[in-house]
A and B are shown apart, each in its own frame.
Chain A
Amino acid sequence: MATSWPSSRRSAGVDRVIDVRLLTAPFNPGAFVGPFTHAHPGLGGVCTFVGEVRSGGGVEALELRHYEPLTLPGMETLAERSVARFGLMGIMILHRTGLLHPGEPIVCVSAAARHRRGAIDAVDFAMDHLKSDSWFWKREKTAAGWCWIEPRTQDHDDLARWGHFRIGAD
């Protein structure tokens, strides 16, 4: 099982669960999604997205770096905003740091709601902000060596879909 910083907690509302973790080792998303789902009796739907390190393009490895004092608090703010904005019963955000290889899960977002639309939209919202407005820096290793990944225009277009909410890392 992957080690993690214990940031899981129940928020003020009795029925809402916010579970946000940075994981430093490979993880099995299903092992987290099952308990998260069971924590929400009476839900109408759960939407889960799992992102993995893409194969191909000559990428041999990916390294994710973060800045401890900002990264986890930023993810927690994003989780709380997602719950409030989409009326969720709960949200789980898991994100890897460290060295990853193609095929390994890098991120898992799961949202539980009374109705499907909120759960689906919340996952889309959280993913756009995790990708381009959270404190992570990535570098790829190819045959040519390590290279830092720069921001893309597409990331800002993705964020613009959601109006003015920002964590502040973009």
Chain B
Amino acid sequence: MATLLFLGRLEDIAGAPELTVPGGTIEQVLAALDPALAVELLGERVRMALNGRILAERGGIVIADGDELAFLPPVSGG
């Protein structure tokens, strides 16, 4: 199983700060979520970090057991 982390307002949309999900490609992981949440997570301004490192590209990334995938919306500012 892998962990999804939701920062900022994404936590409210997900209904929890984190979720435990089966691994797979990012597409497979997102497809298993509530579609309304998946749409938000795929937003143009949402960044993803896998095990603490920002992903430059989402394509071809596989989430393995024990991985942590964080979804980072724009930071809050002043």
Any B CB within 8 A of the CB of A15? no
Q: Is the CB of A151 within 8 A of B76?
A: yes
Q: A137-B7, A137-B8, A148-B8 are in contact. Are A154 and B72 (CB under 8 A)?
A: no
Q: Is the CB of A135 within 8 A of B72?
A: yes
Within 8 A of A (CB), among B18-67: 49, 51-54
Complex partner residue of B74 from A69, A139, A154, A170, CB under 8 angstroms: A170
* A65 CA / B75 CA spacing, docked (Å): 10
Report the minimum CB–CB distance from A143 to chain B (whole Å). Answer: 18
Closest chain A residue, CB of each to CB of B17 = A65
* A136 CA / B8 CA spacing, docked (Å): 8
Chain B interface size, as a band, is 10 to 19
Residues of A bordering B, CB below 8 Å:
65, 67-70, 131-139, 148-152, 154-155, 158, 168-170
Q: Is the CB of A65 within 8 A of B8?
A: yes
Interface centre among B5, B52, B53, B77 (most CB of A within 10 A): B77
Since A135-B72, A137-B7, A151-B77 are in contact, a sample of 18 more A-B pairs with Cβ atoms closer than 8 Å, ordered by chain A residue number, is: A67-B5, A67-B49, A70-B52, A131-B77, A132-B75, A134-B75, A135-B75, A136-B75, A136-B76, A137-B8, A137-B73, A138-B76, A148-B8, A148-B9, A148-B76, A151-B75, A152-B78, A170-B75
Q: A65-B8, A137-B7 are in contact. Are A70 and B49 (CB under 8 A)?
A: yes
Interface centre among A67, A136, A138 (most CB of B within 10 A): A67
Q: Is the CB of A69 within 8 A of B76?
A: no
* A134 CA / B72 CA spacing, docked (Å): 12
Contacts of A65 in B (CB 8 A): 7-8
